[in-house]
Amino acid sequence: MDPEALFWTDASVLKARQQKAAAALVALERVLSRDRPLGGAEDEFLELVPRAGPAPADPTFYLWVRIAYQLLGVLRGRFEPSPLVEAWRAAQGLDDAREALVHHLHAFKAFPLAAALVAGDSLAFRTPLRPRLPFAVPGTPLSIEGPGEVAIHGCSAARIQVHGDGHRIVESPVVREGGCAIRLQPHALHIPGFDDAQAALDVGTPFQREHAPRVCAALRAVRRYAPAVFAQLRSSVTLIALKPRRAGRFNNISHSELPGAFIASVRRNPLAWGDKFIHELMHNRLFDVEEIEPILDPAPGGRRDESFYSPWRDDPRPLHGVLHGVYVHVPVCDYWARVFADPGAPEADRAFAVERLLRLPRQMALSVALLERHGQLTAQGRRLLVSLRDRVGAIASAVRRMGLPADVPALHASDAVDYVPERDETGRALSVREAVAGHRARFDGRGLCADLPDDPVELLARA
């Protein structure tokens, strides 16, 4: 495949992990059927696999298969549990490898349940599914909430057969815009060992309903100013969990094990929020690319886990985070260039677009320089870095040709009003140049960027 298409445009890349999960499920079924390592405890799972149908359009399917594959490998002594499996087991107190796999196969029932509900079929489990609440039926807007425990026995006539005290079945909102159909369903991310969704779980379904119109407005902004990116988003993103911006330890996040999903902090301005939707989509895409072939060298002695300066973060980041940072901002810059070029866009948004177009190329060029100096890359990684350098250079040159001011006030998107000035510790409003340089001076603790110039075109020339 052409590297440029692989990195940026090919739609099949966004389906690669779900297809891989479907193939892995077939392999898992064959091994369990042939070897019977659980002495019969795998029987109901094997009966239910055909009832799950095609790979569910749900991010948790990939995660379920990945954990199952690793648990089987641990049980058979093929490899040590990964950090992902360790976190999952610890969250449930499952130390024994056999017990963990039996428990995980039991949880598979959620997928044939979803297929039967969607098809209007009946399904009866031999033993009931006893999920942790809240529980989302994969690939559907249906969730079960409540303070106690429930037992799901199957479904009939498109209704879940569930018993328990105090539970209720709720339906999450589904936003539809330009062919998108995205569930706003934090319950789907109520996963053992995955704590990042807690801020969205805390506000629940009412918060999702309240802000669904804002999600539609942000999607319209992406559709208008980044139509090619919107097409990718439409074909791949199926789930967003919304949270308040000040809640939790991050603003927005995509998880490498949950393709097609992300958690987003609500923003007031649809254009500023559209920026974040593009950002998270591209994280998803780069995870997909990395599934095909690694970008950073995973060999011992590689620098994947060292901490480096990131122009977007106050804390040190591994080079993997720096790589993701520059990659996701390439289409974000194109988005803001289109906003600026639109004479019908609100003046405040066009002013913020200028701020973005002066700030982001500086930050991306710094990141490219760090990757070129310190990255231990695979062949795929070297091809990506060449593409990033070329695209960042083209963006920086295009910004120069726009005839923008040399510097403008630094701005942030706000919760209360559209945009507010960025200030230093004394309260003085900063310019973009001052903000980028000041951040580098404060947080580049190892002095990795100390000799690099401010101008992105000159910076790329010297890197």
**Cα(329)–Cα(332) distance, integer angstroms:** 5
Q: Domain count for the chain, please give it.
A: 3
Give the tokens for residue 115.
Answer: 């297929």
Same domain, residue pair 267 and 357: no
The pTM is what? 0.95
Q: Is residue 277 part of a domain?
A: no
Of the residues 82, 108, 134, the one at which a domain ends: 108
Q: Give the mean pLDDT of 369-373.
A: 91
**441 falls within a domain:** yes
- φ/ψ (deg, to 5) at 174: -120, 120
Please say which residue of 222, 241, 272 terminates a domain. 272
Do 300 and 266 share a structural domain? no
Do residues 211 and 357 share a domain?
no
Contact between residue 320 and residue 298 where contact means Cβ atoms under 8 Å apart: no
State pLDDT tens for residues 155-177. 998 899 999 988 999 999 999 99
Contacts of 444 (CB under 8 A, 6+ apart): 309, 450
Please check whether residues 325 and 392 belong to one and the same domain: yes
455/326 same-domain check:
yes
Closest CA to 32 of 13, 21, 17, 48: 48
7, 12, 18, 22: CA torsion to nearest 10: -130
Same-domain pairing of 266 and 299 = no
Residue 155 belongs to some domain of the structure: no
For 76-129, how does the pLDDT look when each residue is reduced to its tens digit (9 = 90+)? Answer: 988 888 888 899 999 999 989 999 999 999 999 999 999 999 999 999 999 999
Q: What is the mean pLDDT of residues 362-369?
A: 94
- Let me know whether 188 and 234 are in one domain: yes
* Radius of gyration of the chain from its Cα atoms, rounded to whole angstroms: 24
314 and 217: one domain?
no
Give residue 447's pLDDT.
Answer: 86
Mean pLDDT along residues 190-209:
94
Mean pLDDT within 439-446 = 90
DSSP secondary structure, 354-414, as one string = HHHHHHHHHHHHHHHHHHHHH--B-HHHHHHHHHHHHHHHHHHHHHHHTT--S--B-EEE-
Domain-terminating residue out of 223, 239, 272: 272
- Residues 258, 314, single domain; the answer is no
- Any domain includes 213: yes
Determine the average pLDDT of the residues in 57-79: 92
In a domain? residue 98: yes
Q: Using CA atoms, how far apart are residues 398 and 377, in angstroms rounded to an integer?
A: 28
Task: Average the pLDDT over each of 207-211, 293-297, 326-330 and give the range with the smallest value.
Answer: 293-297
Instruction: Look at the alpha carbons of 279, 283, 286, 288 in this order and tell me if their dihedral is positive or negative.
Output: negative
Tokens 């479907």 correspond to: 22
pLDDT tier, 303 (very low <50, low <70, confident <90, very high otherwise): low
Domain that holds residue 190: 172-272
Kindly state whether residues 387 and 268 are assigned to the same domain: no
The reply to whether 92 and 20 lie within a common domain is: yes
